[in-house]
């Protein structure tokens, strides 16, 4: 009979925060295992203290490296992999001998805990029970005596090791936040908080629940003094402070001066930018668009597109769902009417099935918006990106159609597809299918086959410009409609479209 593995959370430091269940299991252990830092006493063993029975075997699992350098041939990753191999072997030996092993875990075992790696390795081979513990952030917020989140607030837990721009974006998009894993990451974390407008109100907590615990504003902390066992609490109550205060104390003289300058030049006193971000990577964002986004105070758009705009100090992000285009256009126009510098962002080119048309639609609905000058900045369109990856399939006349019937009836789409097919134009198809809309792409394929050869070249571009990018060259008859979704853009060739020996797809400019 093998022994049982117990992975026991023992809280953030105060022994009185160890649960009754954890204490009972530790007290009955045959073997007690615990991690220890390089040349440091184990925090977990210190917290457990006298709960470890006198007759128990103690297994100290000491890291070979934490934040320092290593001469291991596999580097840091290789050194840690060998370390966990050793830990697994040592614990396995006890379990196979029939001894119950209690692995002590600071905080909660499965919350950024080292013990999770042994759980991954052993749970399928031995009986395993995980006992939850009080996580460090719970002790930190309790010490502050300040609510972390209320009602519908969103709480985001972030590792300080995230890239600074990504950390800033996520901080700007949440109400409450916990930032773990500080130490050497602290300067970048502090900068990200400032860029997100969340520095004010953010609290630094060191060694929560321990006698030497301290709570101080992040802005007052010396980066050189920050240990790894520290975290930052950003209460949800601080999320709207910057926006509210800035709008309340807005420099009216500066606003009036700007309006006077634009009026003198003959332009409308208020402006709304509509910016195409391109279909994916930042390299495909035009310099004009990047400069425009760097000068606005508000970015409005569909959440995945808003998330692509780098966060910086003073920038406020307003993300929404995918089917409320006119509502968010009105919201952006209202901000512009207040004198705010606003950009509505759209994927690809904003004028190709994007937000530009929605903004003009909203502007036409209310004469108040006549005072807002709408400026559309072009972006690289998805059809251009897919065509470039394929070669030159749109080198001759082409047409573009969206298969979405949310804003136009399907018979209209069918009529347009038939006309394009009969005209022998290259066809770009946006929005070919979604989870709830699977029939249109099948119907479109069937309709096109009534007018085009089964051998007509078809290009399927998926996630072009992103890490998951794929490009498939097939035929109209060979197209597998079941594999098509909203991440795809289809290019259906004309009768003259051909595939070069190297695989490139191109359409001659001349017509025989």
Q: How many whole angstroms separate alpha carbon 229 and alpha carbon 70?
A: 22
Here the CATH number for the domain that contains residue 432 is: 3.30.950.10
Residue 257: inside a domain: no
Q: How many whole angstroms separate alpha carbon 468 and alpha carbon 474?
A: 19
Q: How many whole angstroms separate alpha carbon 113 and alpha carbon 117?
A: 8
- For 59-118, write each residue's pLDDT tens digit: 999 999 876 678 888 888 899 999 999 999 999 999 999 999 999 999 999 999 889 999
389-401: average pLDDT: 96
250-254: average pLDDT: 38
Whether residues 42 and 150 fall in one domain = no
- Predicted local confidence at residue 321, as pLDDT: 77
Residue 258: inside a domain: no
Q: Which of the four pLDDT bands, split at 50, 70 and 90, describes residue 146?
A: confident
Catalogue the E-assigned strands of 127-237: 128-131, 155-159, 176-180, 203-206, 214-217, 230-234
Whether residues 357 and 423 fall in one domain = no
Residue 234: inside a domain: yes
Q: How many whole angstroms separate alpha carbon 315 and alpha carbon 335?
A: 13
Whether residues 69 and 177 fall in one domain = no
Rg of the chain over Cα atoms, rounded to whole angstroms, equals: 30
- For 8-47, write each residue's pLDDT tens digit: 999 999 999 999 999 999 999 999 999 998 888 899 999 9
Indicate the burial class of 185 (C-beta count within 10 angstroms; 0-12, 13-18, 19 or more).
buried
Q: How many CB atoms lie within 10 A of CB 468?
A: 10
Long-range contacts of 81-90 (CB under 8 A, 24+ apart): 84/117, 84/118, 84/121, 87/33, 87/61, 87/118, 88/118, 88/121, 88/122, 90/33, 90/59, 90/61
214-225: average pLDDT: 91
Q: Which of residues 246 and 278 earns the better pLDDT score? A: 278
The residue among 134, 160, 175 that closes a domain is 134
Q: Tokens 């502090």 sit at which residue?
A: 190
Element (H, E) at 349: none
Whether residues 442 and 470 fall in one domain = yes
Q: How many whole angstroms separate alpha carbon 182 and alpha carbon 140?
A: 14
> In this structure, what token pair is assigned to residue 30?
């045959």
Residue 430: inside a domain: yes
Percent of the chain with pLDDT over 90: 73
Per DSSP, the three-state class of 141 is helix
Q: Edge-to-edge, what's the strand order for the sheet holding 372-377?
A: 316-320, 298-302, 342-346, 270-276, 372-377
Domain that holds residue 427: 383-506
- List helix spans (H) across 196-297: 241-248, 252-264, 287-294
pTM value is 0.70
Whether residues 111 and 207 fall in one domain = no
Residue 144: inside a domain: yes
For the chain, helix (H) and strand (E) counts, in that order, are 16, 23
Residue 170: inside a domain: yes
> In this structure, what token pair is assigned to residue 254?
């500066």
Q: How many CB atoms lie within 10 A of CB 442?
A: 14
Residue 253: inside a domain: no
Whether residues 405 and 499 fall in one domain = yes
Whether residues 143 and 183 fall in one domain = yes
The residue among 227, 242, 257 that closes a domain is 242
For residue 49, what is the DSSP state?
G
- Predicted local confidence at residue 245, as pLDDT: 38
- For residue 273, give every residue at least 6 positions away whose Cβ sits within 8 Å of its Cβ, in sequence order, or none: 292, 296, 342, 343, 344, 375, 376, 377
305-309: average pLDDT: 91
- Predicted local confidence at residue 312, as pLDDT: 86
232-258: average pLDDT: 56
- For 183-208, write each residue's pLDDT tens digit: 889 999 999 998 888 999 999 999 88
- For 429-470, write each residue's pLDDT tens digit: 999 998 888 899 999 999 999 999 999 999 999 999 988 999
Residue 356: inside a domain: yes
Within 13 Å and on the Cβ side, how many CA atoms surround 120?
A: 8
Whether residues 24 and 126 fall in one domain = yes
Whether residues 332 and 440 fall in one domain = no
- β-bridge partners, 230: 206
Q: How many domains does the chain have?
A: 4
Per DSSP, the three-state class of 375 is strand
Q: Taking Cα atoms as reference points, which of 393, 372, 380, 364 lies closest to residue 456?
A: 393
Q: How many whole angstroms separate alpha carbon 292 and alpha carbon 437?
A: 36
256-278: average pLDDT: 66
- Predicted local confidence at residue 453, as pLDDT: 96
Q: Tokens 């495909």 sit at which residue?
A: 284
The residue among 103, 134, 165 that closes a domain is 134
- Predicted local confidence at residue 133, as pLDDT: 96
Q: Which of the four pLDDT bands, split at 50, 70 and 90, describes residue 269?
A: low
For residue 378, what is the DSSP state?
P
Whether residues 459 and 421 fall in one domain = yes
> In this structure, what token pair is assigned to residue 297?
């105070």
- Predicted local confidence at residue 260, as pLDDT: 45
Whether residues 423 and 437 fall in one domain = yes
- β-bridge partners, 216: 204
Element (H, E) at 406: none
Whether residues 300 and 370 fall in one domain = yes
Here the CATH number for the domain that contains residue 125 is: 3.40.1010.10
CA dist list (Å): 216 to 180, 200, 226, 273? 16, 12, 12, 41
- For 321-354, write each residue's pLDDT tens digit: 777 899 999 999 999 999 999 999 999 999 999 9
Q: How many CB atoms lie within 10 A of CB 89?
A: 9
Indicate the burial class of 293 (C-beta count within 10 angstroms; 0-12, 13-18, 19 or more).
buried
- For residue 340, give every residue at least 6 positions away whose Cβ sits within 8 Å of its Cβ, in sequence order, or none: 297, 298
Average pLDDT, the chain: 90
pLDDT higher than threshold 50 for residue 244: no
160-165: average pLDDT: 90
- Predicted local confidence at residue 240, as pLDDT: 64
């Amino acid at each position: 009979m093998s022994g049982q593995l117990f992975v026991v959370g023992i809280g953030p430091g105060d022994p009185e925060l160890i649960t009754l269940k954890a204490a009972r299991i530790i007290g009955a252990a045959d073997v007690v295992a615990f991690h220890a830092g390089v040349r440091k006493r184990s925090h977990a063993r210190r917290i457990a203290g006298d709960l470890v029975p006198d007759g128990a075997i103690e297994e100290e699992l000491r890291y070979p490296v934490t934040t320092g350098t290593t001469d291991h041939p596999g580097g840091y990753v290789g050194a840690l992999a060998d370390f966990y191999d050793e830990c697994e072997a040592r614990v396995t030996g006890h379990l196979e001998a029939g001894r119950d092993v209690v692995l002590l875990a600071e905080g909660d075992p499965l919350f950024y805990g080292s013990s999770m790696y042994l759980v991954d390795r052993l749970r399928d081979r031995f009986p395993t029970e995980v006992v939850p513990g009080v996580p460090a952030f719970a002790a930190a917020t309790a010490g502050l005596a300040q609510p972390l989140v209320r009602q519908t607030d969103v709480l985001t837990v972030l590792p300080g090791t995230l890239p600074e721009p990504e950390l800033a974006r996520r901080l700007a998009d949440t109400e409450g936040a916990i930032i773990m894993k500080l130490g050497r990451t602290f300067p970048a974390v502090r900068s990200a908080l400032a860029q997100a407008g969340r520095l004010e109100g953010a609290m630094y907590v060191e060694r929560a629940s321990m006698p030497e615990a301290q709570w101080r504003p992040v802005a007052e902390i010396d980066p050189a003094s920050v240990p790894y066992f520290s975290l930052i609490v950003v209460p949800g109550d601080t999320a709207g402070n910057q926006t509210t205060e800035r709008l309340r104390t807005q420099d009216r003289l500066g606003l009036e001066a700007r309006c006077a300058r634009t009026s003198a030049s003959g332009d409308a006193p208020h402006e709304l930018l509509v910016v195409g971000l391109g279909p994916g990577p930042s390299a495909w964002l035009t310099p004009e668009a990047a400069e425009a986004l760097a000068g606005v105070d508000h970015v409005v758009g569909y959440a995945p597109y808003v998330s692509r705009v780098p966060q910086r100090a003073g920038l406020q992000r307003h993300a929404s769902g995918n089917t409320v285009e006119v509502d968010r256009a009105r919201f952006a126009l209202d901000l512009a009417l207040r004198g705010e510098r606003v950009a509505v962002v759209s994927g690809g080119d904003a004028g190709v099935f994007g937000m530009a048309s929605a903004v003009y639609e909203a502007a036409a609905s209310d004469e108040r918006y006549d005072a807002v000058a709408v400026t559309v900045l072009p972006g690289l369109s998805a059809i251009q990106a897919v065509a470039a990856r394929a070669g030159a399939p749109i080198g001759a006349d082409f047409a573009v159609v969206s298969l979405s019937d949310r804003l136009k009836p399907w018979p209209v789409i069918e009529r347009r597809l038939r006309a394009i097919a009969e005209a022998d134009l290259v066809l770009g198809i946006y929005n070919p299918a979604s989870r709830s809309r699977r029939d249109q792409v099948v119907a479109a394929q069937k309709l096109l086959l009534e007018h085009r050869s089964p051998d007509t070249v078809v290009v399927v571009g998926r996630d072009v410009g992103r890490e998951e990018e794929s490009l498939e060259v097939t035929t109209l008859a060979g197209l597998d409609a079941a594999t098509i979704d909203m991440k795809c853009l289809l290019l259906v060739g004309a009768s003259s479209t051909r595939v070069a020996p190297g695989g490139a797809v191109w359409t001659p400019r001349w017509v025989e």
